[in-house]
Amino acid sequence: MNAVRKIGNWLEADVDNETMMMNTESGMFVSLNRTARFLWKCLDEVQSTEALLQKTIENFNVTPEQAEIDIAACLKILQEEEAIIISVA
């Protein structure tokens, strides 16, 4: 099981259907779409990837396969931007 948690110092603001985030250390900006914003909010507490999958399926009424694709893409970007860390629990 993988555990996902936020890292770094990020300011965030909701603008229309997106969340704009800025890393206060690097000045890097990131824009999150509706799905990514949902996952980011879920990560206010450490979450397992399985919990994120279940929450995404329930919230967006998508198939598990589609949810896995969307989550993987989102987590990859957040990890590349050093906004999250994924650890094997």
Distance in angstroms between the alpha carbons of the first and the last residue of the chain? 6
pTM of the model: 0.91
Domain ranges of the chain: 2-8+34-88
The residues near 7 (Cβ < 8 Å, ≥ 6 apart) are: 82, 83, 84, 85
What are the tens digits of pLDDT across the range 50-87? Answer: 999 999 999 999 999 999 999 999 999 999 999 999 99
Q: Give me the pLDDT at residue 42, please.
A: 97
What are the tens digits of pLDDT across the range 35-54? Answer: 999 999 999 999 999 999 99
Mean pLDDT of 14-31: 92
Alpha-carbon Rg for the chain, nearest whole angstrom, is: 13
